[in-house]
A = this chain, B = another copy of it.
Amino acid sequence: PKSFFLIAGPCVVESEDLVMEVANDVYAICKKLGIPYVFKASYRKANRTSASSFTGIGDEAAMQLVKKVGDHFGLPTTSDIHAHEEAAQAAKYIDILQIPAFLCRQTDLLVAAAETGKIVNVKKGQFVSGDAMKFAVDKIRKAGNDKVMLTERGTTFGYQDLIVDYRNISIMSAHNVPVVMDCTHSLQQPNQTTGVTGGNPQLIGTIAKAAIATGAHGLFIETHPDPSCAKSDGANMLQLSSLEELLVQLVKIRKAVVE
């Protein structure tokens, strides 16, 4: 395909106003630039570092808002699921079930996601090689679902840093699946003593450009009108007002790569 696709939205469903605002802006930009757009927001954050962090407004309520966004704008949607028993319910509202990186080895979860018949997007564990992600793909295919995607989101490099290994774009593509670069979580700086994961949002463009140049099929970018107020992952979300300029550059690089 000519363009890459974009998975974007706020980290977590904070409120109807927020998801509508973000979706509306990103929808307009993507339409203008010819980029297929998937709306993303998590209905719950299940693995926050600290017990006192915000985890969501309630699963059902949040899922309904995600669906409302999808219906309103005519967009496919995605959200992550965290336990096998969530899969069937989430599948009622959401088009692409995302498997969190920490959970990419949990067979029950992968199989339950696969059995919904929805597209399953598995994030590469920080401790897993691109090559070994073929076992995650196999688990889903063996459960009768061939609609699998893989997402690169960085690899453990010391306790407080992640590195993105772009070799994984080629290596995971060789499993015959679309490969997405998560430009947000790749920049996390985990294991901070504060219990709040740090980041480097000024490098989002670096992560995204290298991904498009090396053939990533999609990008994942969390974005928020005001990242400093976001209730989760504020340290790495892209300011919504900066998204268009970045995408314009990426579209040019994509053209240079595929033409």
**A46 to B252 alpha-carbon distance, docked (Å):** 43
- Number of residues in A with C-beta < 8 Å to the partner? 64
Chain B nearest CB, measured from A160 CB (Å): 7
Q: What separation, in Å, do the CA atoms of A158 and B105 have in the docked complex?
A: 18
> Is A20 part of the binding interface, using a Cβ–Cβ cutoff of 8 Å?
no
Other-chain residue from B49, B106, B192, B255 in contact with A105 (beta carbon distance below 8 A): B49
| A165 contacts B by Cβ under 8 Å | yes
A247 within 8 A of B: no
Q: Which residues of B contact A241 (CB under 8 A)?
A: none
- Stretch of A31-39, A210-218, A231-239 on the interface side: A210-218
Is A169 a contact partner of B206 (Cβ separation < 8 A)?
A: yes
A161-185 interface (Cβ within 8 A of B): 161, 163-167, 169-170
Query: Is A50 in contact with B191, judged by CB distance below 8 angstroms?
Result: no
Residues of chain B lying within 8 A (CB to CB) of residue A139: 51
Give the residue name and chain of the B residue nearest to A210 (CB): B210
Query: A246-259 CB contact bits vs B (8 Å, 1 = yes)?
Result: 00010011011101
Binds B, one of A21-29, A64-72, A126-134, A219-227: A126-134
Known: A47-B107, A131-B191. A155 touches B163 (CB 8 A): yes
Q: Which residues of B contact A15 (CB under 8 A)?
A: none
Q: How far is the CA of A255 from the CA of B256 in the complex (A)?
A: 8
Query: Which of A4-12, A80-88, A90-98, A115-123 interfaces with chain B?
Result: A80-88
Q: Which residues of B contact A170 (CB under 8 A)?
A: 203, 206
- Asked whether, in the complex, the Cβ of B157 is within 8 Å of the Cβ of A157, the reply is yes
Contacts of A166 in B (CB 8 A): 164, 166, 206-207, 210
Q: Hey, which chain B residues are within 8 Å of A214, CB to CB?
A: 206, 209-210, 213
CB pair A132 B159 closer than 8 Å: yes
With the chains together, A256 CA to B257 CA distance in Å? 9
Question: Is there a chain B Cβ closer than 8 Å to A142's Cβ?
Answer: yes
**Cross-chain contact B203 with A107 (CB below 8 angstroms):** no
B residues less than 8 Å from A190 (CB atoms): 127-128, 132
Given contacts A48-B105, A83-B84, 14 further A-B contacts (CB under 8 A): A46-B106, A47-B105, A50-B138, A51-B138, A83-B83, A127-B190, A131-B191, A132-B190, A132-B192, A135-B195, A157-B159, A158-B161, A210-B214, A253-B253
